[in-house]
Structure 1
Amino acid sequence: MATRRGFLGTASAVGAATLLTGQSASTASAATAGITATDETAARNAIRAVNTGMRSHYATLKTELTKQLSPVIVVQNNAGGGRFTLINGGKQTETVDPVPEYFELAKSIAHVPLGIYSVLAAYLSDQVPNIPNGDRVDPHDLDMIVTRAPGDKGWTTPLTGFRTTLNTALTKLGTANLPLDLENSCDKILSEAVKFIDASLNAGSFDMVSFNRFAATVYPSIRVNMTFAATAQINGIEGLMKRWRTLIGERAWSDLYVTVLSIWTTSELNQASIIIRRTMNQAKVDTHLIDLPTVETPSDPILVALDNLARIVQDNVAAEMVFNTDLKVADALKGREDLLSDEILQQIGGTAPAARTAAFGTAAATGACPITGRMAAV
């Protein structure tokens, strides 16, 4: 980053090398300047206190801003298609689960092959099976998943239990009052799953070729379930967005922020985000629709969403106030980039002069600044 390079360019060679290597700045001059280790520690702690103070004031501003955020919709992804909370006038106005129930039911049955795989995975061979597109399986990943020795029969008990669950759903399917096409696809998936499990249990063994054949057989039915689930989610979410838009008015809706909480594996092209996007102010949607990937569902999703949104909003303004002479850096603060990322990429990516990308340890050992390449004064 330009500001970082400018600072290093004006520093002495010893100072710059010290800053980057972490070696004591007083090593060469302590004897003549009379600087003690205690003095150095106190000075560095005083410098650290500056950042501590900044963070304290930043946190205070963020806490106050959190109370003012409005209008905001917080989306919690869940098995039912999403829970939506409207915050208007700084208060939680309404929380709704807008997606029809058959969304969850369609997805539940579509997950059957994944459920069977999850039981069998640890008992697989650690060799990539001879199946279509087997070259897409990472052998190392497979080796880590396989934890049981060849011939281990531990899979039979959980698979038998899962068969009971599947058969119960199959038996009761006709009274679930599902749309006919959805009922038929669910019947196909469940029937084929029970058939595969019975064959595996009777043989006392399984192989991924037969499992792959089962999965391919039910895949068209899974696609039917996916179609029903998508339609349910679109209709439910768009209906809610229309109602809330009328509730808060066009002016407020044009400034709407939406934060979508999801786990990392569903954060890219998140289904709720795709649907909501086209209901928002299109001039602002790229900055006001925010996907927040999490490791797991937070205990207080609203708090997490608002805390992150407050940070985003205050950084948006701070970026233009603090870095108004460098728009690239301002955009980095407003986005997901770390402010040092551009500088690091330039130093290690071959875009800077050779002296700046010299081996870090070598430059330090020879007394040369790894950034400027200049020798330290003796």
Structure 2
Amino acid sequence: MATRRGFIGGATGVGTAALLGYSATPSAADTVTATAVTQTQARESMFAVNAGMRANYATLKAELIKHLSPVVVVQNDAKGGRFTLVTQDGQESVNPVSQTFELAKSIAHTPLGIFSVIASYLADKIPNLPNADRIDPHDLVMVAYNDDASTAWIEPLKAYAAKLSTARTNLPAAGLPAALQTSCATILDGALAFIKTSVAAKHFDMASFEQFSGSVYPAIRTNMEHASQAQIKGVQDIMKTWRAKVGETAWADLYCVVISQWTTSVLNQNTIIIKDCMNAAKVATHLIDLPGLEPPADPIFTALDNLARIVQDNIAAEMVFPKDTVVADALKGQQDLLSDEILKQLGSNNVTAQAAPLYNTVATPGVCPVRK
């Protein structure tokens, strides 16, 4: 049987035109001389072609959103992530990670909380520190924008110390595992000691701060361990529940969209965990990290809107560029369509896009309870 492409391709130019319902003879409108149209008008008519494409593209995308299923959207947050399952039957959302995650991270963030108060008052000279060569002098100048002789940092630091002191007093009643309680106490005690010494002396510097932060680092690692355990269990449990609900056939085509900030978009914690709970054959194309500057006002719509663009581009790429798989792959991925040509003209055609991070590609069997 002749395909549509083969049938039309085998017709003559005039025959094909007649077949498709238009005449090869120019109409009166087509014969208007070029001098009757200004350059601006001509260019506006060309711009209108792209505007029409964008309108058609937006219409397709808006309709496609209604048919995306199944999809898991992950909003990274302080609680370990808000997960939403989207199916043809509707949506359901949950924060699956236990409070241990947030509690452990909350105390582990203490040195960063202190740094955020004192950073602008740091002297803009790098002292003799073990990591001195890793500090960009220009970055330091921009961060340490206040007078290092000022003591305006004392009151906000004392206010933060009050929060730390309350947390330290109440810590035994939090019901934490013994190891986590001990590590939290170590971090809080170290922070309070640093603040007390700095306020009394009305002085601090990078060396004294790094001495404090380094001293509590082992305890921070303990908190990180407990937070990770809580997150892994929570995410795996909800993915297992939803897999049973959706069914194996539908789950094999699951898309996961993880919304994150740019600073955590590579090796994102939820992305790493989810990867092993999906169809391994489709992780590379169906697990999508969507970094941004700030959390979107409507995370679910943002995720589905971007996913619709990705899905329709996947199909458009193969049908619009059937004879050039390189360009088709560019349309399907994160690469700009003009990138190869620009690199070629700049004499850098050997430059390749940065490879996507690998997420534990050799996983230990049985690690994820929803592994097939």
Report what 2:329 is aligned to.
Answer: 331
Match of 2:252 among 251, 254, 261: 254
Equivalent of 1:321, from 319, 322, 328? 319
Q: Which amino acid aligns with 2:337?
A: L
Q: Secondary structure at the match of 1:283?
A: helix
% identity of equivalent residues? 58
Partner of 1:207: 205
Output the CA distance in 2 between the equivalents of 1:270 and 1:306.
19
What is the rounded CA distance, in whole Å, between the counterparts of 2:166 and 2:349 in structure 1? 63
TM-score (norm 1): 0.82
User: Any stretches of 5+ residues in structure 1 without a counterpart?
Assistant: 1-32, 353-378
What secondary structure is seen at the aligned counterpart in 1 of 2:129? coil
SS of alignment partner, residue 268 of structure 1: coil
The aligned length equals: 318
Which whole-Å CA distance do the structure 2 matches of 1:95 and 1:283 have between them?
26
3-state SS in 1 of match to 2:271: helix
Residue 312 of structure 1 aligns with an amino acid whose one-letter code is: I
CA deviations on 1:95-117 (whole Å, 9 max, x unpaired) are 01000101000000000001111
Change in Cα spacing, 1:108 to 1:331, as seen in structure 2 (3 Å) is same
Q: Distance in 1 between matches of 2:89 and 2:62?
A: 13
Runs of 4+ in 1 over 2 A off after TM superposition: 33-36, 349-352
Give the corresponding residue for 2:76.
77
The aligned runs of 1:70-149 (5 Å cut-off) are 70-89=69-88, 91-92=90-91, 94-149=92-147
Contact 2:76 2:82 in 1 (8 A): yes
CA distance in 1, matches of 2:121, 2:81: 34
Aligned to 2:284: 286
Secondary structure, aligned partner of 1:293: strand
Aligned mate of 1:274, from 272, 278, 282: 272
2-side partners of 1:39 and 1:114: how far apart? 62
1:127-173 Cα shifts (integer Å, max 9, x gaps): 12221111101111111111111311111011000000100000000
Q: Please state how far the C-alpha of 1:229 moved relative to its aligned partner.
A: 0.3
Structure 2 counterparts to residues 1-378 of structure 1, below 5 A: 35=35, 39-89=38-88, 91-92=90-91, 94-350=92-348
Indicate conservation of the 8 Å contact 1:68/1:90, yes or no: no
For the residues of structure 2 that align with 1:259 and 1:152, how far apart are their CA atoms?
Answer: 46
Structure 1 vs Structure 2 CA RMSD: 1.3
SS at match of 1:284: helix
1:35-67 deviations in Å (ceiling 9; x for gaps):
48x611000000000000000000000000000
Secondary structure of the 2:140 match is: helix
- Give the superposition deviation at 1:186: 0.0
Deviations 1:234-253 (A, max 9, x none): 00000110110000100000
Q: Secondary structure at the match of 1:98?
A: coil
Question: Would the aligned equivalents of 1:173 and 1:187 in 2 still touch at CA under 8 Å?
Answer: yes
* Structure 2: distance between partners of 1:79 and 1:85: 16
Q: 1:207 offset after TM fit, Å?
A: 1.3
* CA offset digits 1:223-282 (Å, max 9, x no partner): 000000000000000011011000010000000000000000000000000000000000
Q: Which runs of 5+ in 2 are unaligned?
A: 1-32, 351-372
Tell me how far apart the structure 1 counterparts of residues 339 and 123 of structure 2 sit (CA, whole Å): 42
In structure 2, relative to structure 1, the CA distance for the partners of 1:116 and 1:143 (3 Å cut) is same
RCO comparison, higher one (Cα < 8 Å, 6+):
1
Could you tell me how far apart the structure 1 residues matched to 2:348 and 2:68 are? 43
Contact 2:260/2:292 (8 A) holds in 1: yes
Q: How far does residue 34 in structure 1 lie from its aligned partner after superposition?
A: 7.8
User: CA 1:349 to 1:129, structure 2 compared with 1: closer, same or farther past 3 Å?
Assistant: farther
Partner amino acid, structure 1, of 2:72: I
Secondary structure in 2 aligned to 1:95?
Answer: strand
CA contact under 8 A between 1:264 and 1:293: conserved in structure 2? yes
CA contact (8 A) 2:114 2:157 kept: yes
Q: Structure 1 residue 351: deviation in Å?
A: 5.1
Q: Is the 8 A contact 2:80 2:231 kept in 1?
A: yes
